[in-house]
A and B are shown apart, each in its own frame.
Chain A
Amino acid sequence: MSRPAEATVEPLRAESAPSTGAHTHVPASAAPVLTVEGLDVTIGRTVRAVRDVSFSLARGEAVGLVGESGSGKSLTCRSVLGVLPPGCRVADGRITLSPSTDTAADGATDADVATLPASESAELTALPRKQWNAIRGRRIGAVFQDPASYLNPSLTVGGQLAEQLRVGRGLSRSEAYARAVELFAAVGLHRPAELYHQYPHELSGGMLQRVLIAIAVSCEPELLIADEATTALDVVIQAEILELLQSLRKEQGLALLLVTHDLAVVAESCDRVVVMYAGEIVEDGPTTEVLAAPAHPYTEALLRVASIGDWGRRELDIIPGRPPETGADLPGCRFADRCAYVTKECTAGPVALRTLDGGRRARCLRPAGPSGETRSAAAADPGLPVPQGAAL
């Protein structure tokens, strides 16, 4: 596993460097697999927790959805899965799952395509409950933070994967066993035939997450959603899981929506990044460019507090202030009271998500240019706390 994994990591880093390179393995004409338009999610009747969120994912593309807790990133991805918590609902907007155009041409699923529900465009926000079964687990796979709680402790892990294969793909008992063992090997689990008969409590967190990934991709979905899937894991295991997701993406043309609060994880593994703050998208664009020159002050702040892979003593920056209450109705920019560059206009009226050069968008009246020139007139970081670790 280590060799192929290595092979997938290196090209990713290399190709995400140039501006146009981020999408090189995605067909230029690739229609989006998932399109989210104007999504609004409300908690109860009035609390608008997610506001006007629009983004899309192409086949084989990895998009990172980043934000602090309470930014609406999890509600957004749960809307896509149709598993919003009680009391939450999609108030407005469209979520469209398009058929990946070349699935049939691939022949990857050959005979099984017939048994699957027709791969057609589906509008997910209005989907009746019964039809979700044809989508969830089959066309959209998902893995979450705590793998142990998504597995039945009294059934073997192999049995649970085989069940998904039999229900989702109509395989026979023996076919399902054979395919399950193959899948376990494909996600990097050793001795898959023995592991098939083990129970969740016998496996470590990293192994369980691999089992869940095997289940999530067993029906060859078009889209895999990983909601904080590596957050609870050790760094060593986290790196292995991220590499696994990358190789699945390469091999199966899987679109990957990675939801995380860790900008560093996105930097390592995503083509594009969508930054959310207080329920809104504040910036999105190709990862390398956004991280090299963030246009929105919030992205800039996130970057300042992220792990930079430098092991020296340094000031630990913070983002002063705290985000507004979920769903709070503010007249202007929702980041204004924490922003170092705030002016009167920022709080006067709603700020639109503007399109910038290079496929980027930012919700800021004065987004920084590629080299930060637009905002450089403002005083240098007046809102920052006084560095604390200077002594010693």
Chain B
Amino acid sequence: MSSTLATDRSAEASESGSTAPLLEITGLGVSYGRRAVVRGSARRTRVLADVGLTVRAGEIVGIIGETGSGKTTLARATVGLVRPDAGSIQFDGRDLTALGRSELRDFRRSGRVQYMFQDPLRSQDPDLTVRQIVAEPFAAIGALSRQERAVRAEEALSLVGLDAAEIGSRTPGQISGGQRQRVSLARAIVTRPQLLLSDEPVSALDASNRNLVLGLLDRLRRELGLAVVVISHDLGSLAGIADRVAVLYRGRLVEQGPISEVLEYPRHPYTALLTASAPSVRSGHRLLPAELRAPVGRDPWPDDVGCVFAPRCRFADDACRTEPRPAAVGGPSVPQDHESGAPEASAGDEASAAGHTVVCHHAGSWRARLG
């Protein structure tokens, strides 16, 4: 069942030397059951298909994509909160998808992988103090003595730049939004995890606090060697800290690679649309979003055949409509120039092609069709 973008692994290996990846997801598929609201509509909705992702210790990987693209599901599957129905999730050499119920529970309780939830107000018990919240991962499994927990909680709080003496005995309602998010981060790192999955850690924060929290993630990965997966839609600040980025669209990975390269020179039209749409205080040289949107009034595209982005893609043609999407599970292999996505001009440029994969029929040619 486990198929992946073959280039992923080889390219990653060459990029980061011989270190074995901490997390290696291959061919991941997740679908949710749906109840029959309307007659006969009970079926499973595929939310992730054939997703591959590799994360090494000390690396920050960003995941971007729109609402409903499967970002959160990918993160939840990684911590074992959602059962995948295809593919494998190797964490430190162990296949999480093969674990039984109680083994998975033990794994989650080991605190080696932590999840930082999107909304701190809703993921923090309003009646607990900050100290108790941070020590919760231990309290939940009955580990450590009361004093040891307090020491570890203070340690974690100081790692995120909070003074336990000052805010340790306050409740979430009595601290600011930026502090709450840092408390969430402290709770996530108190077990000294190897991997942190952070779901939209900054979407509710203003620019200064956003930079503060992302800066902390950056510091933690350097000081603790923590591997971090950050889900964010703020491309600019993500670019400031992340090493690599994976772009999801409707449950499929459409592009993946070193973040500055992917954002600077997107090879997938969807990534290009994302970067063009991101607001910035300087008007630059970049493409205009309107240049990348599909013309209005085009015939509806058939769903589930061909490229997943084709219905919204300005550059889609019959090939995108009918040919199975490149690198689909069990699908025919894609011609090399398509999969590598390198434009003809820079096909020989190995440095820029390293680890940069794109799933597009016209990855190398769509730019030429811009007006």
Residues of A within 8 A of B (CB): 1-3, 5-6, 9-10, 13, 68-69, 190, 204-205, 234-240, 242-243, 261-265, 267-268, 291, 301-303, 305-319, 322, 388-389, 391-392
Contacts and interface: CB of A to CB of B under 8 A. Distances in A.
A307 B212 contact: no
A195 to B, nearest CB: 14
B93 interface: no
Residue from the set A235, A262, A264 with the largest chain B CB neighbour count within 10 Å: A235
A190 to B, nearest CB: 7
B235 A235 contact: yes
B281 A264 contact: yes
A6 B237 contact: no
B240 interface: yes
A236 B281 contact: no
B141 interface: no
B370 to A, nearest CB: 12
25 contacts: A2-B290, A6-B290, A69-B206, A235-B274, A240-B289, A305-B208, A307-B236, A307-B237, A307-B280, A308-B281, A308-B282, A309-B236, A309-B278, A309-B281, A309-B284, A309-B286, A310-B280, A310-B284, A311-B236, A312-B264, A316-B212, A316-B237, A316-B240, A318-B212, A322-B176
A9 B279 contact: no
Given A239-B277, A305-B207, A317-B211, A311 B282 contact: no
A306 B240 contact: no
Given A305-B208, A318-B212, 6 more contacts: A2-B296, A9-B290, A307-B279, A309-B278, A313-B240, A316-B214
Interface residues of B, number: 50
Contacts of A5: 290
Given A1-B296, A235-B277, A265-B279, A314 B240 contact: yes
**SS class of chain B's interface: helix, strand, loop or mixed?**
helix
Interface in B199-229: 206-212, 214-215, 218-219, 222
Contacts of A310: 236, 239, 280, 282, 284
A7 to B, nearest CB: 8
A316 B241 CA distance: 8
Contacts of B219: 388
B277 A2 contact: no
B106 interface: no
A56 to B, nearest CB: 24
Nearest to A190: B296
Contacts of B15: none
B263 interface: yes
Contacts of A13: 283
